[in-house]
Amino acid sequence: MTRENKGHFAQKHTDARLNEKIAQAIRSEVIEGELFCANAFKIAGDLSVKPGDVGRNADLLEIPIVKCQLGLFGYPPQGKVVKPAESVATDLEEAIQKELVNGRLSCAAALTLAAKCKVPKMVISSACEKMRIKINFCQLGTF
């Protein structure tokens, strides 16, 4: 999504149809016109649907997803709040390296690593920043 198209999220899904059950759950979680990333994942879990289904329906409703759990987007005015870690433990660095595909770490892999390593999600993204590794393939479809 380019800056010129910002706020026109439904344009990404020309053939998609709104799922009213998901849409209702999204509407119930909206705060000041926005849906928090964590709440989108909660909806996915509660309804046993994929996070991408929630993201697509939020787009169709023109509701922006904010407050990325990895700190990568949705924190006005700066947008991104994750900062590079001062250092990265060797075992964490090795775990991240094992999950890389084409030199990048997927959002799903980052969240799985956080749970597996029993660390906050932003520890993973901060380590990636330090290691100059990009996180890609947002499960909600925001990037």
- pLDDT tens digit string along 67-105? 999 999 999 998 899 999 999 999 999 999 999 999 999
By residue count, the chain amounts to 143
Residue 128: is its pLDDT beyond 90?
yes
pTM, two decimal places: 0.91
Confidence category of residue 6, pLDDT binned at 50, 70, 90 = low
Q: What angle do CA 51, 54, 58 make, to 5 degrees?
A: 140
Spatial contact of 75 and 67, defined as CB atoms under 8 Å apart: yes
Question: Who's near 121: CB < 8 A, 6+ residues apart?
Answer: 69, 70, 110, 111, 114
Q: Give the pLDDT of residue 10.
A: 84
pLDDT tier for residue 5 given thresholds of 50, 70 and 90:
low
pLDDT average, residue stretch 95-121: 98
| Of the candidates 28, 78, 109, 14, the residue with the CA atom closest to the CA atom of residue 133 | 109
Which of 36, 104, 95, 24 shows the shortest CA–CA distance to 68? 36
Work out the mean pLDDT of the chain and round it to a whole number: 95
